[in-house]
Every structure is written in C-alpha cells, then in structure tokens.
Amino acid sequence: MPVFEYSALNAKGKQISGILDSESAVTARRKLRSLRIYPVKITEVHDTVKKKDHRFLSSLHLGRRIKQSEISMLTRQLATLVGAGFPLVSALDTLLPQTKTPALNRRLAKIKDMIVEGQSFAQGLSLYPETFSALYINMVRAGETSGTLEIVLNQLADITEKQQALNNRIRNALAYPVLMAFIGSVVLFLLLTFIVPSITGIFADMNQTLPTPTLLLIRLSETFKSFWWVFLMVLIAIPFALRSIKKTAKGRLVVDKAVLRIPLVGQLIKKISSARFSRTLGSLLKNGVSMLSALEIVKNIVGNKIISNAIADAAVQVGKGQGLGESLETTALFPNLSIQMIQLGEQSGELETMLDKVADVYENEVESAVLGLTALLEPIMILVMGVVVGFIVLSICLPIFEMNQLVM
C-alpha cells in the first residue's frame, strides 16, 4: 500500500505532520478529515532520485531506538480506545497521526495493514521483536484468543508503566551520587595535572630532603601530567570493552556472575529480577499462557544471564511435575521470602495473586534499598574527597613548615 507524508492543521489550528498509508491521495485526505485533521499538503513517498536524500534521512530516523515510554503510552491509548468500543483497526488509525516517532509510525501502519488483510494483531507485532518483546506479543496473542484484548492491553500498560517507574526511581536516586563522583574526579584530575605541579615546582630548588607525602604527591602529579591521556583513554575504553564482552555468550555469563557477587549490588539485582519475574509470570498465567511457555518468556526479561539460566533449569523441573517454588529454591538465586510466598500460592491455588504480591514486596524493597545505598554513598564520597584533598594540602604544607623552622 502506498505511503503518504502530509502536513496539516488539527482542530485547534496547530500545524502537524506525519505519515499515513492509503490507497491513494484522495483516500488519504478522506482519512485525515475523518480524524478532524485538515491536510495542507500530501506527498507520496517514491523510490526516485529526487527522494533519495529524504529517504536516507528517514532511514536514519527509522533506525533510532524506540523508547519504552513510547510503547507504554501507545499501549495505554490503545487499551482506552478498544475499551471505548473502537474496532482494533479504527483504534490504530486514530493513533497513527498522533505517533510522532517515524519508526513507530511505520511499524503501526504495517501492523494495521496486516490486520486488514486478515492476520492477527499478535502476528503483526511479531514482525518487530526488537520493538515488541516476547512478553508483549504472547500476552496479546492470549488476549485475542480469549476475547479479552482490552484487559490484556491494560495489564500490559500497567506492567510497562510500573517497570518504567521503578527504573526512573533508581536512576533518580543514583543521579546525585554519580554526578558528585564525576565532579570530584574531574576536580582531582585538574588538581594533580595542572595546579599541584605549579606549586610543587617551588620545592625543586630546595636543597633539602622533602617529606615522604610531598615526594609521593610530586610523583603522582608528574605521572598524571605526563600520562593523563592514557588514563582518559582507559576510562573511555572500559564501557566499550564491557559492552563488547557482554555481546558474547561466555562474556555475558562472566560479567553477570561477577555482578551478583558484588556486596549489596548483587542482592539488589536479585530483588529486581525477582520483581520482574513475579510480575511478568503472574500476568502471563492470568491470561491463559501455560506455565512452561510463561517460564520460557520470563527467563528473557530478568536482565541477568545467570538468573535466566536458573529459571530455565527450574522450568525443566516443573516440566517433570515438580512445583515452581521447589524448583526455584534449588537455584539458590531467589530470595527465601519469594520462594515461600510462591509455595503458599501453589498450595492455596492463588499463584497469580501471590506472584503480584511478591512483585509489590520486592519493588518496594528495591526502592528502599536504592535510597539507603545512595544515602550511604554520599558521606562515603565526601569522606574520600576530604581524605584526598587533605593529603594534598598536608603534602604542600609540610615543606613550608620545615622552611619556617629553618628560618627561625
């Protein structure tokens, strides 16, 4: 189906632009007017030399990663429209002009075309696994099969919004300590590389033995001044090296295993993974996805390969007839409270409800732990900075004190 780019005025007279698929320019105008959008200019996208540069720029936009917040907002809007009685195709038609990201707009247009051609919504979503997760696709498929798409979309919106809110709280809590660490590192680097050498140069002409702290400071300063670019390159290279290592299966295992062994951080990662695991598994089971299929989906969203492999091992035991709680207990990677609550849910027949409670408990614990960790980091960083600055001041003042004593 041809694709048209348009510039138009909305009901409030504000100029907007976007992308629309339609059989012809006339049909495209009718579609826009039915949405109370009044087109000023409509142009079909052709594969001609004239459009070559424009298409190249468009491809750059299409390659941009779609944010999770955009998927969450789209899901909530779609759930609202479907709940209001809109057919799925009409709901997608309504959302297309409001979707500002070209990549997401094109994907929605293609998915809508597939639905019009008789395919399911889940089949359309499965074309874009990099945008819509396995959890998203399988829950939509379960909702279409059971006729509860509206409920499933609302649950998906709840899940994505809660995960995004948790991630935002963690980022906000860590923002101040990270900023302080960065500023402190820059200040120390400038002190050792540029300021200290100019001060310690005064001591070079002294015909006396300098104190040990002063000699150490001078050597550190000379090292930083001569090889500052090496330290800078190492700092820049470390994130790229870690990213390259994590791209390999073996490297990912080594890094994730090392992260779990870090004091405090390892426990925090386990709690985050438990919250994601419980929230997602509970939602899948509520929507009729079988336990084994749900575990296969959930193992890919916990964010740690070691824990993911542990879930896969537990799934094997569940397939042999063992209980979920008992299977997870053998992995020794899930908190004891989560295991006990899951076992209680299995015994009472309320596993889905208990999984939601587990997720609530650990999401709150993660937030409290992050706040406690950041509250601990701030005085530690201040103390470290104070010790380092004190060492620099003492190293500079000691020779001055000795000079004063010689004069007296």
What digits encode the pLDDT tens for the residues 169-185? Answer: 778 877 888 888 888 88
Q: How many angstroms from the chain centroid is the CA of residue 3?
A: 32
**What DSSP line would sit under 136-172, residue for residue?**
HHHHHHHHHHHT-HHHHHHHHHHHHHHHHHHHHHHHH
pLDDT surpasses 80 at 38: no
Neighbours of 173 (CB within 10 A): 18
Structure tokens belonging to residue 43: 């142009």
pLDDT surpasses 90 at 198: no
Distance CA 99, CA 39 (A): 17
Query: 3-state SS string over 366-403?
Result: HHHHHHHHHHHHHHHHHHHHHHHHHHHHHHHHHHHHHH
pLDDT surpasses 60 at 59: no
Distance CA 294, CA 280 (A): 8
Task: Give tens-digit pLDDT for 292-351.
Answer: 888 887 887 787 889 989 999 999 999 998 999 999 988 888 889 899 999 999 999 899
By C-alpha distance, which of 5, 63, 79, 12 is closest to 39? 5
Q: 142 with 126: CB under 8 angstroms?
A: no
pLDDT at position 54:
39
Task: Give tens-digit pLDDT for 250-291.
Answer: 888 888 889 889 888 888 888 888 988 898 888 888 877 788
Percentage of the chain beyond pLDDT 70 is 89
Q: Between the CA of residue 86 and those of 81, 89, 199, what are the distances in Å?
A: 6, 8, 75
Comparing 82-86, 142-146, 229-233, 325-329, the range with the smallest average pLDDT is 142-146
Please indicate whether residue 394 or residue 148 has the higher confidence score (pLDDT): 394
What kind and span of H or E run contains 9?
Answer: strand 3-9
Distance CA 233, CA 240 (A): 11
Domains recognised in the chain with CATH numbers: 3-63 (no CATH), 68-157 (1.20.81.30), 158-408 (1.20.81.30)
Task: Give tens-digit pLDDT for 81-130.
Answer: 888 888 888 888 888 888 888 888 888 888 888 888 888 888 888 888 88
Helices (H) and strands (E) in the chain, counts: 17, 3
- Give the chain's end-to-end CA distance (angstroms, integer): 95
Q: Could you tell me which residues come within 8 angstroms of residue 313 by beta carbon, excluding any fewer than 6 positions away?
A: 327, 330, 331
Q: 39 with 32: CB under 8 angstroms?
A: yes
CA dihedral 399, 400, 403, 407 (to 10 degrees): -170
How would you class 402 by CB atoms within 10 Å of its CB: exposed for 0-12, middle for 13-18, buried for 19 or more? middle
pLDDT at position 206:
64
pLDDT at position 20:
66
By C-alpha distance, which of 406, 2, 4, 5 is closest to 208? 406
By C-alpha distance, which of 278, 276, 352, 288 is closest to 138? 288
CA dihedral 74, 147, 124, 23 (to 10 degrees): -80
pLDDT surpasses 70 at 29: yes
Structure tokens belonging to residue 3: 């694709």
pLDDT at position 246:
77
pLDDT at position 342:
92
